[in-house]
Structure 1
Amino acid sequence: MKKPALAAAAFAALVLPTIASAGGPIERACLRSDRQAANVATCNCIQQVADMTLPSGDQRRAAKFFANPDEAQDVRFSSRSSDTAFWKRYKSFGEAAQAYCGG
């Protein structure tokens, strides 16, 4: 495991259990998705990581990717600086969620 991912996992292990999620946009989109790993525990975990790493506007934008993965690719390959900045934050969130939530 890479050092940043390990640090994120350690931080998440200490902080996440104390954060109560109120069913944010990522969690709701995750639960509505047809992904095999989508269950209450996993989706809640991902939302908790989102609460720690993404502002609310980014969470709403990222939640749309569950229903429309092509939108994620459009953002990823966009030349707009705002999309590039968002993608960097989103990628960091994804790495932290994978490290902590295991999936």
Structure 2
Amino acid sequence: MSGGPIARACMASERKARNEALCGCIQTVANQDLSGADQRMAVSFYDDPHRAQVMRQSDNPRDEAFWLRYRGYADRSEQLCRAYS
């Protein structure tokens, strides 16, 4: 399993589909697509899903740029890690 903040948050989550292979795959994609700061922001969504909604709707250019990177990461991890769920 690829260790990192997203993998740890994934394994600590209450999602039924979580497992080491899935969380490791998601972390591997995050390592390729997101900076450390972006990963820390993404981890906050596990604890507070509403924060993701606020970020998505923000008019702040920095938040908008993050959201585009995050959506790209989320789409790619969904495609690449589907087999593990």
TM-score range, shorter chain: over 0.9
User: Gapped runs of 5+ residues in structure 2?
Assistant: none
Among all aligned residue pairs of Structure 1 and Structure 2, give the percentage whose two residues are the same amino acid. 45
Number of residue equivalences: 83
- Please report the TM-score for the alignment, with normalisation by the length of structure 2: 0.93
- Please report the TM-score for the alignment, with normalisation by the length of structure 1: 0.77
Bigger CA radius of gyration: 1
| Residue pairs, 1:59-98, within 5 angstroms | 59-98=39-78
- Is residue 40 of structure 2 the alignment partner of residue 57 of structure 1? no
What's the counterpart of residue 101 of structure 1? Answer: 81
User: Gapped runs of 5+ residues in structure 1?
Assistant: 1-19
- Is residue 35 of structure 2 the alignment partner of residue 35 of structure 1? no
CA distance in 1 between partners of 2:33 and 2:59 (Å):
23
> Secondary structure in 2 aligned to 1:79?
coil
